[in-house]
Chains A and B, each alone.
Chain A
Amino acid sequence: MTAGPCYVGVDSGSWNTKAALLDAGGRLVATAIVRTGADVRSAAARAVEDLLRRAAVDRSAVAALWTTGFGRHAIPDATSSRTELDAHARGALQYVSGPLTVIDIGGQDAKIIVVDAEGRRISHKMNRKCAAGTGSFLEEMALRLDVPIGALPALAADSREEIELGSFCTVFTGTEVLGLIRQGRRPADLARAAYRSVVKRVLEMERVEGTVVATGGVVSHHPLVVELLEQAIGGRVIVPQHAQEIGAVGVAHAALAAAA
């Protein structure tokens, strides 16, 4: 049981809604993840319900509920909100101190956030209006390779040959993959090529410096992305615990800080 007031963060993403609960001392008590679907509000309600159950905390103990993510303005119970950029930087800073670069790869977008030694965010970059370098890209590739998205990492692990995917656009990369299948290239090699393409697109966004932290759903479920990121930048990439829920954790910390 958690005593005293609690702080809840909800990250309303395009695919998943994540929630995190902190106690008054800033300790992470529980997290929850639910599919967002078409109804952002009900997803947030389900996530919070699940969160409170996991934390064994009564709703009355919630002192503040802050939101972040794509649906941050649509959640009626919210006390306040911050953008994903702020939430991910704060979340990452719970695990690593600055200066650092946060690479967040989500379902529909990718972000690079630069934080200075004092923990202040000094710049950020989001992907162009383009899905290359995001989780949707991997979904489309899995579809074209005729495997469930969950099976993509295992498929890629079996790769023996390096293939370079050249298209920028997700849908046209889909055509390119079909063409490569037509030429008899192995699905495993194409799966690995898809991961390399994501990493390449993300690193094209901004120069990466200092400690590098990767967050978001994609790195949590596709560890090969992290491995390829490390190869590309020639250094370590830290994936914090709760990488997928880090935005929710971050915005819960913002709520706590505002209460202090």
Chain B
Amino acid sequence: MVVAGVDLGTECVKTVVVDDAGKVVGRATVPTRGYFQDCFQEATGNALQEAQVPAARLSAVCVTGFAASCAPVASQAVSETLCHARGAWHTVQKAMTVVDIGGRDPKVIHVDARGGVSSSRSVRKCAVGIGTFLMFASRHLDVHPTRLMDLATSAEKPAPVGSYCSVFSEVEVIELLRQGSTAGEIALGCMQSIADRILEIDHFEDPIYVTGGVCEYFPGVVRALADRSARAVEILPEPILAGAFGAALFALDQAKS
């Protein structure tokens, strides 16, 4: 038996295919572009191809994420909070704080010792605390987003980036460049700014696990989270797939029942 979980996010659409033991046999990530239906087909098609399974053999499909309602085929939909908690719990198996940092809606989720969600809080409507801000920043530093992390690694100290609005932060970026900050210092400053906004969401209890696309592409944010909170912060393996993986586990429950 195989099932799929699909996470339709604002920056990427992710599909994970698992077998009846909950082992991942196929995975795919595609950037969100145009209509979500098309992204869904592309990601799911790629994951099935990796799993060497035809679509017809999927026993269940669970969807989650911003555009879960756009999925053309799904046997159920589950919230991102539950999917990220489930995905993390499967790996960690103890009470923890899950920090999900995606494109637009970071969350701090407290998971109890039995894997249940005891509380979940999302960021306020502030764009500087979200992954998309790093996309803005890379556009203004004139580098591809994947280069941003290399740049940040090259910097010794962060440049102070500190606005509420990401677009105004762009002006700050130009101003900092003019004052002689390096692109690396600014990249690091941007990551630190995201970490600061995330620490403002809720209190953290150890252990802390980070999921979501941001830490996959920008591990500097996780390092900043650890530095700013003075606590150990772990990255869940394949963090960008955590939500889709959790969804696949829900699909498996459904297929087995």
Residues from chain B with Cβ under 8 Å of A146 in the complex: 33-34
Give per-residue flags for A16-39: 1 if the beta carbon is below 8 A from chain B beta carbons, else 0.
000000000000000000001111
CB pair B10–A175 under 8 Å, yes or no, is yes
CB pair B10–A129 under 8 Å, yes or no, is no
**Which of B66, B125, B141, B163 is A172 in contact with, Cβ under 8 Å?**
B125
Question: Which of under 10, 10 to 19, 20 to 34, or 35 or more describes the interface residues of A?
Answer: 20 to 34
CB of B165 within 8 A of chain A?
yes
CB of B167 within 8 A of chain A?
yes
In the complex, residue of chain B having the shortest beta-carbon distance to the beta carbon of A131: B167
CB pair A178–B171 under 8 Å, yes or no, is no
CB of A61 within 8 A of chain B?
no
Give per-residue flags for A81-115: 1 if the beta carbon is below 8 A from chain B beta carbons, else 0.
00000000000000000000000000010000000
Residues from chain A with Cβ under 8 Å of B67 in the complex: 178, 182
**Which of A167, A170, A175, A182 is B167 in contact with, Cβ under 8 Å?**
A170
CB pair B142–A38 under 8 Å, yes or no, is yes
Give per-residue flags for A145-172: 1 if the beta carbon is below 8 A from chain B beta carbons, else 0.
0100000000000000000000101111
CB of B36 within 8 A of chain A?
yes
From 95 to 152 in chain B, residues with beta carbon under 8 angstroms from any chain A beta carbon are: 104, 125, 127, 130, 132-133, 140-142
Residues from chain B with Cβ under 8 Å of A172 in the complex: 125, 127
CB of B203 within 8 A of chain A?
no
CB of B44 within 8 A of chain A?
no
Residues from chain A with Cβ under 8 Å of B35 in the complex: 181
* Whole-angstrom CA separation of A146 from B34 in the bound complex: 6
* Whole-angstrom CA separation of A174 from B130 in the bound complex: 13
Chain A CB within 10 A, most for which of B34, B125, B164, B167: B167
* Whole-angstrom CA separation of A179 from B70 in the bound complex: 10
Residues from chain A with Cβ under 8 Å of B33 in the complex: 146
> In the complex, how many angstroms separate the beta carbon of A247 from the nearest chain B beta carbon?
17
CB of B170 within 8 A of chain A?
yes
> In the complex, how many angstroms separate the beta carbon of A11 from the nearest chain B beta carbon?
15
CB pair B104–A175 under 8 Å, yes or no, is yes
* Whole-angstrom CA separation of A178 from B132 in the bound complex: 13
CB pair A37–B142 under 8 Å, yes or no, is yes
CB of B69 within 8 A of chain A?
yes
In the complex, residue of chain A having the shortest beta-carbon distance to the beta carbon of B70: A182
**Which of B10, B166, B170 is A178 in contact with, Cβ under 8 Å?**
B10
In the complex, residue of chain B having the shortest beta-carbon distance to the beta carbon of A170: B167
> In the complex, how many angstroms separate the beta carbon of A29 from the nearest chain B beta carbon?
30
A–B pairs, 11, beta carbons within 8 Å: A14-B170, A40-B174, A70-B171, A131-B165, A169-B125, A170-B166, A171-B165, A178-B32, A178-B67, A181-B35, A182-B36
Measured CB to CB, the residues of A under 8 A from B are 14, 36-40, 70-71, 74, 108, 129-131, 134, 136-137, 140, 146, 167, 169-172, 174-175, 178-179, 181-182
**What 5 pairs across the A-B complex have the smallest Cβ distances?**
A131-B167, A171-B127, A136-B167, A38-B177, A182-B67
